[in-house]
Each structure stands twice: as structure tokens, then as C-alpha cells.
Structure 1
Amino acid sequence: MIKKPVVIGIAGGSGSGKTSVTKSIYDFFQGHSIALIEQDYYYKDQSGIPYQERLKTNYDHPLAFDNDLLIEHIQQLQQRLPINKPVYDYTVHTRSVNIIPVEPKDVIILEGILVLEDQRLRNLMDIKLFVDTDADLRIIRRLLRDINERGRTIDSVVNQYINVVRPMHNQFIEPTKRYADIIIPEGGQNHVAIDIMVTKIQTILEQNSIV
């Protein structure tokens, strides 16, 4: 009998700290059998669309994601089959020709802004987390990240936040909070919540006789 891995979904808005929470959990289980699947690697292939049209892509909308492929890959990992994780190239706004081979693991972390939006994805998860951080902190974190790491201007980041990120968050991301088993305030700074999650994951692994 195949022992299914533990699948953990970690959602939250841009700048919420979900990546920090993911890293904390991932680092704890380093040396164990753990894989990370990022939803933003699964943006739809747009190679058949003219480049000027691709520039209009709304990356904060559920329809931007190829959830069919993501679900197929999670199911394959649950069956202890390897996958080829796609790579998205933001410079050309479509999927790259490169892939990342991922072997089956005992723990799978699925992280992204909208991983709790699709019921089919939620049904594959053993634990569902939502990282909940105030909007003012999220915009500050996003501002610093995009300026320092992506070379963007303050005006471009603020305009994108007001016109796309904020309305998409309110319409699609925030409502998924109600599906979470645990809501973690303040992201990676909430060490108590992360410790509780790690303990819970260990318990499930022990129950499944995986560790």
C-alpha cells in the first residue's frame, strides 16, 4: 500500500509573509523528505498569445494559473510518482522551456496566493494555512522587495498595488481565509504558530508511519 505524503497548503496575500512561513517549515524538515511546490511556477503557458497581449496578464487573478496541471502534479506526487515542475519566465510572460524535476516526498508544501481558491486543490490538502497580515505591512514589504530586488520604481509598484493587487486581494485572496484550518498572523515572525504547525505535521507523519 502506498503511503500518501502529507500535503500542506499555505496561502496569503502578496507580502503577507507566507514565503517566510513556508521557509521556516521547510528548513525544520531539512534532512527529511520534503518538497516545495510554488503555485506561481504554474502560470499558464501563453506562448500562443502575442507578446503585447501577454503584457496585460493579471497575475493576481485565479484564471492566470494552470490549476489543472498543478492538480495533476500533486496527485502524481501523492501516488509517489516524479513530476517535472514547470518554470515561468516573467521576462517574456510565458512558460520557459526549462523544467525542474521533483521526486516524491513524505511532505509536500504547496505555497501561493490562491492555493485555497480552487476546491479541487483544497481537497488534496491535509492542512490548510492562511497567513494573515495587515494591508499596510504587506504594501511596505512588497514595495521594498520590488524596488530592491526587481529594480522597479515606487510609482510603478504603488500603481500596480492600487489598480491590480489590492482589488484582486479583496475579491479573491481574502475570502479564501475561511477555508483555512489555521490562520497565522504576521507570517514568519509568528514563531509560536510555526512551532504548532511543525508539531502537527510530525504527528501526521507518525500516524502515517512515515517517520
Structure 2
Amino acid sequence: MLVIGIAGGTGSGKTTVVNKILQQLNTEGVNVLSQDNYYHDNPNLTLQEREVLNYDHPKSIDFDLLIKHVKALKNGETIEQPLYSFVTHSRTGDHVSIDPRNVLIVEGILVLTNSELLKEYDLKVFVHADSDERLIRRIRRDTQERGRDLQEVLHRYQTTLKPMHQEFIEPSKNEADLIVPNMKQNTVAIDFLSTVINNTLKHTH
């Protein structure tokens, strides 16, 4: 199994890069695990308490479970992936069964920050985007998809997102084998990743 970690700051376009790769592939051979489904549940906290937690710190991620699931898939086992809601800031209680496939993509802002998880990757990718562009994308996503107030988004960016990006996410770029500048006209990196994955899929048939 080929395991690829794809990281980058919030709003950098990680999901877009993953989707562009999948568009060029036979997706039946590829699984995608999103870090977003591996946030700690914190059922002992109220909604108000969960809303003010720092979700951009590595400690917010249940890396033990994520690593366990990556290893299980590599061992040919089916996993039960939890589903997470950004509205309630908690796991929904539902799970998705994921069977092992020939290629596994693990994506999220913090997936290159954990030393144990780094050992599981065959290829590490960091998607880079201008900080202003990332902020604009974050505002659009949080106001349109997650029902957040503009002032709330800007406050969180200044007090949490930007400091955490500088402390944890940007330094994790040093772990990457490939840095992808997320520009609309940039197809070289996407084509390269698609070729690597395609070659893996061909050799496993």
C-alpha cells in the first residue's frame, strides 16, 4: 500500500489538490482519510466550552486513533472511521466502514506534525498558499459552510489560526518530500502525484 500524507495551512487548498488527483485516477483503488474526522470528542464539555477550544494545536487531534487506523489499513484490515461535526464540535456517533485499498491519502493541516504518523508515509506533501489567500478561503468556508460569524472567524484567525500555523504547521513543511504551490495554473505537481499513484495502482493489479 502506498501511503501519502498531504498537509498545508488552513485554506491552502489541500482538499482541492486531493480532488484534482482523484479526478485523474481510478478512485476505486484510493482511500482518503481526513484529519477532520479525528478530532478528540470531548463529550464532557458543553457546546460553549467546545467552541472556544484550540482546534489548530496537534493536541486537538486523536493521533493514536488515526495512526491505529492507518496501520490497520496497511495490514489489510477494515476500519470504522468516526464522523465529526464542526457545528457541534463533537463526533456524531456515526461511523464509516473503510476497506483497505492500494493507495491511502491522509490529509489535514496537522498530518505532518506527528513523528509516529510520519513513519507511516511513503510520500509527504505540503500544499503552500499565500496567507492572505488562505484567510479569504477560510472566511468563505466558515461563514458559508459552518455558519460562523465574520468577526468570530477573524478573531479566531488572529488569536489561534495564525499563531498555530507559525508554530506547528509551517515548520512541518520541512518534513515534506514535495511542496505544492497552490496556484490555479499549477498542474505539474498534480500530474506528478497522479503519475506516482497510477504507477502504484498498475503494479498492484
Alignment TM class, shorter chain as reference: over 0.9
1:119 shift after superposition: 1.1
Mapping 1:57-136, distance limit 5 Å = 57-136=53-132
Q: Does 1:148 align with 2:139?
A: no
User: Are residue 202 (structure 1) and residue 179 (structure 2) matched?
Assistant: no
Residue 55 of structure 2 aligns with an amino acid whose one-letter code is Y
Q: Provide the rounded CA distance (Å) in 2 between the counterparts of 1:169 and 1:71.
A: 22
Q: 1:23 aligns with which of 16, 19, 23?
A: 19
Distance 1:187 1:37 in 2: 24
Task: Using the TM superposition, give the Cα deviation of residue 27 of structure 1 relative to its aligned residue in structure 2, in angstroms.
Answer: 2.4
Distance 1:144 1:25, change over 3 A: same
Query: Contact between 1:16 and 1:187, CA under 8 Å: does it hold in 2?
Result: no
174-183 or 186-195: which moved more?
A: 186-195
TM-score (norm 2): 0.93
Does the 8 A contact of 1:17 with 1:187 survive in 2?
no
Instruction: Give CA deviations for 1:50-89 in whole Å, capped at 9, x if unaligned.
Output: 4443232111010000000000000000011100001112
CA distance in 1, matches of 2:14, 2:32: 13
188 and 73 in structure 1: CA distance in 2 versus 1, 3 angstrom threshold:
farther
Measured in 2, the distance between the counterparts of 1:137 and 1:153 equals: 19
User: How far apart are residue 189 of structure 1 and its match?
Assistant: 4.8
Cα RMSD between the aligned structures? Answer: 1.6
Contact 1:44 1:94 (8 Å CA) reproduced:
yes
Give the partner amino acid of 2:122: D
d(CA) in 1 for partners of 2:183, 2:106: 16
CA distance in 2, matches of 1:14, 1:69: 22
Unaligned 5+ residue runs, structure 1? none
2:7 is aligned, of 8, 11, 16, to 11
Q: Normalising by the residue count of structure 1, what TM-score does the alignment of the two structures yield?
A: 0.91
Structure 1 stretch displaced more, 75-84 or 150-159:
150-159
Aligned length: 205
Equivalent position SS for 2:173: helix
- Which of the residues 36, 40, 46 maps onto 1:40? 36
- Aligned partner letter, 1:69: L
Once the two structures are superposed, residues 109-154 of structure 1 have per-residue CA deviations (whole angstroms, 9 ceiling, x without a partner) of 1000000000111110111000011101101111122222233332
